[in-house]
Chain A
Amino acid sequence: MGNKTIEIVEEGIGELIQKPDVEEFRKFVRDKKRRTLVEKVMDEKEAVSQFIKDGDYIGVELYGTVRAPLSIIREIVRQGKKNLRLAGQGLLEIDYLLAADLVTAMDVTYIGYEVLGLSPIFRRAAENGKVKIVEWSNAAMAWRFKAAAMGVPFIPIRSMLGSDTFKYSAAKVIMCPFTGIKLCLLPALILDVGIIHVHKADKYGNCVIEGISGFAFEMARASKRLIISTEEIVSTDEIRRYPEKTIIPYFLTDAIVYAPFGSHPGEMVYLYERDEEHLRMFLKMCETEEGTKKYMDEYIYSVKNHKEYLEKIGIEKLMKLKYEKMGR
């Protein structure tokens, strides 16, 4: 047992597209995360222009059709934030940004429409070699956020071993100094900007999510800047009465954007169903570049903001989705 170094047995060949600089993160959190309760309500235009820069590494939670922060993503597209790097665990979020040609590199785990099939936009981007792609598993991405939330540069796990998912990642395999077993080390993933859509928030950014929490807890804590869109703005008194429900406390949040039906065409559990018709139409149109352009023009570029987007979808459709929701 004289050996005092940990041996690196294997290394993935994928590029580390965001370095886990935990020292810099600590200083950022010390200097830039406000301790005081200040009001952070703003519209999506202001949130995106104030907190997202060209070249940023951004991430979204949950994904595509579930609690998706799409009103914010559509605004990023309208503002044309360029050279973005992404944590690719999404569908529509990723596809909108890819279709608008705003992405240079992605850490990917799964981009597909599950029961509705593959994503034509992602397929084209990957098959043309237009975007740099690094592979990870779903757990790996969530645990990378967890490591960042813990403030440590890496976390050991027991999946990804032996696979090409590992080979095309930026993970490393080591021998555990305590047990002698092989472990996969994941680099922490610190986001420049995290974007999350929640059920309720107060004006300071205390947030409540209903149903499963996905990876919101970890991602919120792994983000330097955090933009929250919310279905409802509630009083701080209500937050204080049920503090155990606050999954994202105010000091993590930088912007609160009021966005009812913000997940459309995705669902918001207990509030509205996903818009199956719209999703199928989107996927059909995206089979070709021309169709994709047409969709983007119609539903993103030609509407000024989320309010106009909702008017375009129409109150009748929105009420129908509200009516179709599953109860408790």
Chain B
Amino acid sequence: MKYSKTELMIFVAARLMEDYSTCFIGTGIPMLAASLAQKLHAPHLIPIFEFGGIGANLKKLPRAVGEGRTFYRALAATGICDIMESAQRGFIDYGFLGGAQIDPYGNLNTTVIGEHSRPKVRLPGSGGGNDVGSLCWRTIIIMKHEKKRFVEKVDFITTPGYLGGKGKREESGLPEGTGPYRVVTDLALLDFDEETKRMRVISLHPGVTLEEVKENTGFELLVKEPLEVTPEPTEEELRILREEVDKERYYI
């Protein structure tokens, strides 16, 4: 069976989405994963988009977090304050985010590469990222696994992960019991060690070796034994992704 690395990443992210859970969906792969999850195992998944869409039917894939597709046949269309206040109240279970850089504690950078005042590369900035990572119960990060992205220290903490380690989030004032939960990459599935809050490999994607994952990570990775192998998508699941989720081929 042939599938791309991006496709597998979408499947892994979609499997993490539970039926009847509230999911804050950011731009890009999270949109595909949510749409796929609705079609496969989580028909009652409640996608939440930052500018007001709650419980949309993701019939057509959104290209922006405020466009009509984020509230197509939705249960409610409100505004950004209501959405963010819901997250701050504790109503949003999962937040899905991407980033340009991530460090061992799950801190994310989507603001600048280099110095803030004269950046080498200016990225879009926080958008809702900081709020999603701060206020949702569990944050799931979806990123390409590359050494230049998985770095010891991010150039700019746009969105807080576990900051400098266990207890640091709470010390800074962020709500208790929140933080990064999983990291989905094109090579592996990772979580964060309970004691150190450092990133840890828990499952390798089919055909990927642990060495390969380590080679593509710019910091020392923890490994959970025994390592699992990520299940592959079925033919039917792949067909749904290609023919129903991303018909317009924006992402895959």
CB contacts (< 8 Å) of A129 on chain B: these are 117-118
In the complex the two chains form, what is the Cα distance from A274 to B112 in whole Å?
A: 29
Listed residue (A112, A164, A173, A182) with the most chain B CB atoms within 10 angstroms of its CB? A164
Q: Which listed residue, A114, A142, A159, A163, touches B157 by the CB 8 Å rule?
A: A163
Interface check B141, CB cutoff 8 A:
no
In the complex the two chains form, what is the Cα distance from A66 to B168 in whole Å?
A: 38
Closest to B53 in A: A212
Give chain A's interface secondary structure class: mixed
Q: Binary interface profile of A, 99-133, with partner B (CB < 8 Å = 1, else 0)?
A: 00000000011111011101100110011010001
In the complex the two chains form, what is the Cα distance from A214 to B84 in whole Å?
A: 11
Q: Across the interface, do B125 and A135 meet the contact criterion of CB distance under 8 Å?
A: yes
In the complex the two chains form, what is the Cα distance from A118 to B71 in whole Å?
A: 24
Q: Which listed residue, A114, A146, A212, touches B28 by the CB 8 Å rule?
A: A114
Q: How large is the interface on B (under 10, 10 to 19, 20 to 34, 35 or more residues)?
A: 35 or more
A-B contact pairs, 22 of them (CB 8 A): A62-B51, A109-B126, A110-B127, A111-B125, A112-B127, A114-B64, A115-B64, A115-B251, A127-B120, A135-B125, A138-B84, A138-B128, A143-B84, A159-B135, A161-B172, A161-B173, A163-B107, A163-B134, A165-B130, A212-B53, A326-B68, A326-B69
Q: How far is the CB of A243 from chain B (nearest CB, A)?
A: 19
Q: How far is the CB of B107 from chain A (nearest CB, A)?
A: 8
Interface check A95, CB cutoff 8 A:
no
Q: Which of B74-82, B183-191, B194-202, B236-244 contacts A (4 or more CB under 8 A)?
A: B74-82
Q: With A123-B122, A163-B158, A168-B116 known to touch, is A212 a contact of B78 (CB < 8 Å)?
A: yes
Q: How far is the CB of A180 from chain B (nearest CB, A)?
A: 11
Q: How far is the CB of A91 from chain B (nearest CB, A)?
A: 9
In the complex the two chains form, what is the Cα distance from A173 to B171 in whole Å?
A: 12
Q: Across the interface, do B52 and A212 meet the contact criterion of CB distance under 8 Å?
A: yes
In the complex the two chains form, what is the Cα distance from A129 to B69 in whole Å?
A: 36
Interface check B121, CB cutoff 8 A:
yes
Q: Binary interface profile of A, 193-222, with partner B (CB < 8 Å = 1, else 0)?
A: 000000000000000000111111110000
Q: Across the interface, do B123 and A211 meet the contact criterion of CB distance under 8 Å?
A: no
Q: Across the interface, do B78 and A118 meet the contact criterion of CB distance under 8 Å?
A: no
CB contacts (< 8 Å) of B128 on chain A: these are 110, 137-139
Q: Across the interface, do B77 and A135 meet the contact criterion of CB distance under 8 Å?
A: no
Interface check B160, CB cutoff 8 A:
yes
Known: A110-B126, A118-B124, A143-B81. 10 other contacts (CB 8 A): A114-B28, A138-B128, A146-B81, A212-B78, A213-B78, A215-B51, A218-B79, A270-B68, A274-B63, A326-B72
The count of A-to-B residue pairs whose CB atoms sit within 8 angstroms is 196
Q: Which listed residue, A111, A122, A161, touches B174 by the CB 8 Å rule?
A: A161
Closest to B248 in A: A276
Q: Which listed residue, B73, B117, B131, touches A138 by the CB 8 Å rule?
A: B131
CB contacts (< 8 Å) of A183 on chain B: these are 173
Interface check B18, CB cutoff 8 A:
no
Q: How far is the CB of B169 from chain A (nearest CB, A)?
A: 7
Those of B31-59 within 8 Å (CB) of chain A = 49-53
Interface check A312, CB cutoff 8 A:
no
Interface check A136, CB cutoff 8 A:
yes
Interface check B220, CB cutoff 8 A:
no
Q: With A115-B27, A162-B173, A214-B51 known to touch, is A138 a contact of B120 (CB < 8 Å)?
A: no
In the complex the two chains form, what is the Cα distance from A123 to B144 in whole Å?
A: 22
Interface check B159, CB cutoff 8 A:
yes
Interface check A257, CB cutoff 8 A:
no
